[in-house]
Amino acid sequence: MSAAVIVFPGSNCDRDCKVAVERSTGERVEMVWHQETALPSGLDLIVLPGGFSYGDYLRCGAMAAQSPVMQAVRKAADDGVAVLGICNGFQILCEAGMLPGALLRNAGLKYVCKPISLTVANANTRFTAGYQGQEEVVMTQGNGDGNYFADAETLARIEGEGQVVFRYVDNPNGSVADIAGLQNARGNVLGMMPHPDRAFEAELGSADGAVLFRSIYAAA
């Protein structure tokens, strides 16, 4: 598998993602600066990492969504390459129009940082096939703007098309329908607020995140 992590100004989980993918799959990951206009050829996975791109000014992910590299990311997604947006990366995907809905301030107006339990709402995706038979997983939450929102029409569509991939067991931020992660209609773009890159080895408290990366590897 060939993978790349996009690095934005303010990213703080880019190296975490690189290490998580490499240790989970045994493959090397390239780091791509946000001002690049082209991506390495032959990619199977593009990761938009967590962090605070552009200091979370304007709206979380809004400025990063306009970075030059995002045109290449959109093109790759259109060509069927897997794109994974984690935390701020999820916000970027929504701001770029690559996923429906938006991420708002947490309902409690507090930053949430703790291990979080999730249910696997759809194990029949290229991101979650490895969770077959595992209904609940544990990853780590770390956000202040993780409150997923979509209007009723959009919510009905994504629910009906099986786009919800992860749900919170105990919703920490007020996300509608407990949505913690969802994919696009085509099934090759996933955005999620919890961090699989912080839960890929037992020493971190959970190795459930590694299953996600291995699922992508197997699909590739």
pLDDT greater than 90 at residue 220: no
- For 80-140, give the DSSP string: T-EEEEETHHHHHHHHTTSSSSEEE--TTSS-EEEEEEEEES--SSTTTGGGTT--EEEEE
Structure confidence at residue 57 as a pLDDT band (50, 70, 90): confident
Q: Convert the pLDDT of each residue in 98-131 to its tens digit.
A: 999 999 999 999 999 999 999 999 999 999 999 9
Whether the pLDDT of residue 29 is over 90: the answer is yes
- The CA angle 135-136-138, to the nearest 5 degrees, is 155
Instruction: Give the whole-number percent of the chain exceeding pLDDT 90.
Output: 96
Enumerate the active-site residues. 87, 195
Taking every pair of Cα atoms in the chain, the longest distance, rounded to a whole number of angstroms, is 43
Q: Which CATH architecture has domain 3-219?
A: 3-Layer(aba) Sandwich (3.40)
SS (H, E, C) 4-61: EEEECCCECCHHHHHHHHHHHHCCCEEEEECCCCCCCCCCCEEEECCECHHHHCCCCC
Ramachandran assignment for 63, one of left (phi > 0), alpha (psi -120 to 50 degrees), beta (any other): alpha
pLDDT at residue 100, as a whole number = 98
pLDDT, residue 211, reads: 97
Q: List Cα–Cα distances, 205 to 18, 19, 154, in angstroms.
A: 19, 16, 35
Q: Are 176 and 154 in contact (CB under 8 A)?
A: no
> Edge-to-edge, what's the strand order for the sheet holding 136-143?
29-33, 3-7, 45-48, 82-86, 189-192, 179-183, 164-168, 112-120, 136-143
Q: Tell me what the pLDDT averaged over the chain comes to.
A: 96
pTM: 0.97
At 134, is the pLDDT very low, low, confident or very high (cuts 50, 70, 90)? confident
Contact between residue 189 and residue 158 where contact means Cβ atoms under 8 Å apart: no
What average pLDDT does this structure show over 32-45? 97
pLDDT, position 1: 83
- Per the document, the length of the chain is 220
Closest-CA residue to 195 (of 114, 46, 110, 87): 87
Name the DSSP letter for residue 67.
Answer: S
pLDDT per residue as tens digits for the range 60-99: 999 999 999 999 999 999 999 999 999 999 999 999 999 9
pLDDT at 202: 95
136 phi/psi in degrees, rounded to 5 = -130, 140
pLDDT tens sequence across 145-199: 999 999 999 999 999 999 999 999 999 999 999 999 999 999 999 999 999 999 9
